[in-house]
Structure 1
Amino acid sequence: MRHAERHRTDRIGWLRAAVLGANDGIVSTASLVLGVAAAGTETKAVLVAGVAGLVAGAMSMAAGEYVSVSSQSDTEQADLVRERRELADAPEQEQAELAEIYVRRGLDPALAATVASQLMKHDALGAHARDELGISKILTARPIQAALASAGTFSVGAALPLLVVLLLPASMLMWAVPGSALVFLALLGSLAAKTGGAPVLIAAFRVTFWGALAMALTAGVGALFGVAT
């Protein structure tokens, strides 16, 4: 009977982008709302600032992820083009190079040479991409997927503090916004850790600590400028 193992490395690309987007959406929007509210601004202005932050942040996240991951993808493709050319020009040398990689990983030279020979016959470029360049189908760069995941999850995360602004009076925002944001962040960290198989408490503490620090600093700036005006 075949044993089917389930691994989580195939989730790394979209999970990283999704967690980054949602975390940034919650922290940046809650901090923005808190800073504007601390300056003594009325609820309508706080809401407008929050919505503007949501739209700008989602587009910024999408563009940033797309450009960043596209650069990674361009580098991968350039390496593959060069590797394909080297395989065509010097296949024996490339096979020896592959065998040497397997020797360094623990195989004896004879077995390493046999494995390299068989893999070269099966899929030479795939073998070199995976074992020499570290490029695999699971971990390869996907710019569009990363951009959509970041923008979408940023929007969802940013909508949570705005919902609090809509539902509660202005007098409660200074406590309700950071309190709810910390709850949302803890849930996000726990969910991301569970999805990725990481320790839940450590992940939850990590995101709530930095979120609390960001909101405290922004609230301080808002209060300072509110007093100054």
Structure 2
Amino acid sequence: MTSTRPSGAPARARDLRRWRRYLADEREEGFVYRDLASRRSGSEREILLGLADAETRHEQHWRELLGLDLRSEPRVSWRTRALAGLARRFGSVFVLALMQRSESRSPYEADADATDSMAADERIHAEVVRGLAERGRSRISGTFRAAVFGANDGLVSNLALVLGVGATGVAPSAVLFTGIAGLLAGALSMGAGEFVSVRSQRELLAGSRPSAEARQAVASLDVEENELELVYRARGMTAEDAANRAKAVLLGYGELGGEESDVDEHEAIGSSLGAAVSSFIFFASGAIIPVLPYIFGMTGLSAVLVASALVGIALLLTGTVVGLLSGTSLFIRALRQLLIGWGAAAATYLLGLLFGTSLS
């Protein structure tokens, strides 16, 4: 299906506004793709420029519909320029995640003035951007996982600790020192745990790689009768596939280690030290928030409410960041973080009240 405006046919003001908005959106998406491409090379640059060219084709469609009603070119908004600035300063993963959401929510399928090919383009663009964003997500996944989990654990665990202890009726100074002790103990525990976890994971993966001795032995194997097939069968291949793979390796067409992943293993897992430092810092930064009201001298119910509100805002922010990077609903991710955090804190607070009542 194609959509063209007959020459001289009047257009309703509502249609003109919609067409101008679509034209502005296409211009802004093309601007972002070209800006990202200017800092990339190789295949990524070509892919981004290809996306920008497609947006230019879409622009032309809306220009033709607007005709003389276009009057002036839409300017690139401050929001789009800010996105480009964020990409230059912090990398492209956040921007690509936003572009993935934008492409996946295209209104063209339900718009009679957009062509079928344009609607199909937008669906494919979402998958292309998803693939580009996946590379960035893989590079930061290890440290990012430690950072998000650290901040979230600090927020929830220390809020629960502070509210639970405070509900027993102890002095405000005891609540303050309990919160600080929980911050230090939790941050050290998280940092140590992440260091051991990531280091162990890397060691386990290293133990799964072919050894240097096995690579050297390949050249001396008998082409007709060899045990190389058993290596691939042990990795889950069928007898036929294992035989073909072994023959290719022996004839020099393949490597013993198999196919290499496009994602660097070190980047995907993260460094043990980086994960440990991220966990420590982000746990501490999250755990300090529920203690702030007590640091500034607040007590009683007012301190509980302020601490809960501050932690709630922080949980919404961490949920939004996770939703943004994963390309899923920001609202659902943020609400889930908030409800889980507040739920855990409320349960501990109620237990503290019961414990305090039983002691009195």
Query: TM-score interval w.r.t. the shorter chain?
Result: 0.7 to 0.9
Aligned mates of 1:13, 1:222 — CA distance in 2: 36
Counterpart for residue 212 of structure 2: 84
Aligned mates of 2:254, 2:218 — CA distance in 1: 16
Q: Does 1:227 align with 2:271?
A: no
Aligned mates of 1:57, 1:66 — CA distance in 2: 14
Q: Does 1:151 align with 2:195?
A: no
Aligned mates of 1:117, 1:160 — CA distance in 2: 60
Structure 2 unmatched ranges of 5 or more:
1-44, 49-131, 222-227, 239-243
8 Å Cα contact 1:129/1:136 also seen in 2: no
Aligned mates of 1:198, 1:60 — CA distance in 2: 31
Aligned mates of 1:20, 1:38 — CA distance in 2: 26
TM-score by length of 1: 0.79
Larger relative helix fraction: 1
8 Å Cα contact 1:76/1:135 also seen in 2: no
8 Å Cα contact 1:10/1:138 also seen in 2: yes
SS in 2 for 1:150: helix
SS in 1 for 2:261: helix
8 Å Cα contact 2:183/2:288 also seen in 1: yes
Counterpart for residue 41 of structure 1: 170
Spell out the pairing of 1:65-104 with structure 2 (5 A cutoff).
Answer: 65-80=194-209, 82-90=210-218, 93=228, 97=232
1:79 CA displacement: 1.8
Aligned mates of 1:181, 1:137 — CA distance in 2: 33
- Deviation string for 1:109-163 (max 9, x for gaps)? 89xx59x95563xxx65x55639xx973432452111111111100100111111
Q: Does 1:167 align with 2:211?
A: no
Match of 1:212 among 326, 329, 342: 342
8 Å Cα contact 1:186/1:207 also seen in 2: yes
State how many pairs are aligned: 215
SS in 2 for 1:138: helix
TM-score by length of 2: 0.52
SS in 2 for 1:215: helix
8 Å Cα contact 2:289/2:307 also seen in 1: no
8 Å Cα contact 1:38/1:219 also seen in 2: yes
Match of 2:312 among 154, 165, 182: 182
Q: Does 1:130 align with 2:268?
A: no
Aligned mates of 1:3, 1:16 — CA distance in 2: 28
Distance 1:101 1:149, change over 3 A: same
Larger Cα Rg: Structure 1 or Structure 2? 2
Distance 1:144 1:38, change over 3 A: same
Letter in 1 for 2:212: R
Match of 2:190 among 51, 61, 64: 61
Counterpart for residue 52 of structure 2: none
Counterpart for residue 3 of structure 1: 47
1:224 CA displacement: 1.3
Letter in 2 for 1:86: A
1:208 CA displacement: 1.3
Counterpart for residue 143 of structure 2: 14
Distance 1:39 1:73, change over 3 A: same
8 Å Cα contact 2:141/2:269 also seen in 1: no
SS in 2 for 1:198: coil
Q: Does 1:25 align with 2:154?
A: yes
Distance 1:77 1:141, change over 3 A: farther
Distance 1:18 1:140, change over 3 A: closer
Structure 1 unmatched ranges of 5 or more:
104-108
| Identity level (%) | 31
Aligned mates of 1:200, 1:118 — CA distance in 2: 47
